[in-house]
Structure 1
Amino acid sequence: MSRADYYILPDTEPESRAAFLCRLCEKILGLGMRVFISTEHETAARQLDQQLWTARPQSFVPHVLLGGLPASPIEIGWGEQLPNHREVFINLSGRLPDTAFEFERIVEIVIQTPEVLAATRENYARCRDHGLELHRTDMRHRS
């Protein structure tokens, strides 16, 4: 059964999303899985590409814009782009595209902004309606 993981951050800044994404990608790579990160548009994909190189100076998260070289276990795309694999789909593009349901795992990183919260609520309902196993990690109350 496919699953959807929701990580709820206490922050409102988009940069906190990128920092968490970096740590999450390291963990997913450690599990031997490939990752596709979906953004809304090319500018967002290129910004994320830069943020992943600088988010954690002590780490290395190998990634590439979809179709770029050398090949990488983490690919960043936008719009309707999709990778060749169907392992992990990380949604940073708002509304979850229907093609995301083809993946083994969907991941949402939630920050406390009205736009992200509204999109995430809708995506959560769609994942539930598709019968995905839902997991929620609320990081707002951790010390």
Structure 2
Amino acid sequence: MASCRVDFYVPSSDTPDGRYTLACRVTEKAFQSGKHVYLYCQTPDQLTQMDERLWTFSSSSFIPHGLLGKTDELVRVILGCDDPSPDVAEIVISMANTPVSTFSLFSRVAEIVGTDDSERQLARNRFKFYRDNGVEPVTHKV
């Protein structure tokens, strides 16, 4: 199996909205690749916000998606708070505070970095986890 690629996306905007918009943009790009995507949310509230934003973040497009356990297998973008499973997706986009412990089961993990100091420290911890497990993450400031 090919190794997993891990990317960290750091929003250029320091507002919480910047993180959500960035997550939508990364999800859209992953969706356009034709692969199945799992958007890993930290909390049910975050999941609800992402669910709403994926329908409306762009005036020229939307990302069809469903919630884990509440949609059919034809939907390529799934949102959930449960640990990612390779049965659901090939790509994980994570807004969680903890690393994707099963990262090696996926072709790609995209970590969306938060905007405040505590969220950035959690991202540093996730970065270290991947590095300690043999992956050299790539950071993108967008």
1:55-66 mapped onto 2 (5 Å cutoff): 55-66=57-68
Equivalent positions of 1:7-18 (< 5 A) are 7-18=9-20
Give the conservation status (yes or no) of the 8 Å contact 1:66–1:77: yes
What is the CA distance between 1:14 and its match in structure 2?
A: 2.1
Identity fraction in percent: 27
Q: Match of 2:96?
A: 93
Deviations 1:62-81 (CA, angstroms, capped at 9, x unpaired): 11111222441111110446
SS at match of 1:108: strand
Counterpart among 2, 8, 15 of residue 6 in structure 1: 8
RMSD, aligned α-carbons: 1.9
Gaps spanning 5+ residues in structure 1: where?
none
SS of the equivalent of 2:137 reads strand
- Letter of the structure 2 residue corresponding to residue 43 of structure 1: D
Q: After TM superposition, give the deviation of residue 83 of structure 1 in Å.
A: 6.0
Q: Is the 8 A contact 2:6 2:110 kept in 1?
A: yes
Structure 1 consecutive aligned stretches of length 4 or more whose deviation exceeds 6 Å: none
How many residues of Structure 1 are paired with residues of Structure 2 in the alignment?
A: 139
Alignment partner, residue 122 of structure 1: 125
Pair 1:32-2:34 in alignment: yes
Contact 2:95–2:113 (8 Å) recurs in 1: no
In the alignment, is the contact (CA less than 8 A) between 2:4 and 2:103 conserved in 1?
no
What TM-score results when the alignment is normalised by the length of structure 1? 0.85
Does structure 2 conserve the Cα–Cα contact (< 8 Å) formed by 1:19 and 1:56?
Answer: no
Matched letter for residue 50 of structure 1 = E
Q: Provide TM-score, normalisation by structure 2.
A: 0.85
- Tell me, in whole angstroms, the C-alpha distance in 1 between the residues paired with 2:83 and 2:24: 23
CA distance in 2, matches of 1:67, 1:11: 33
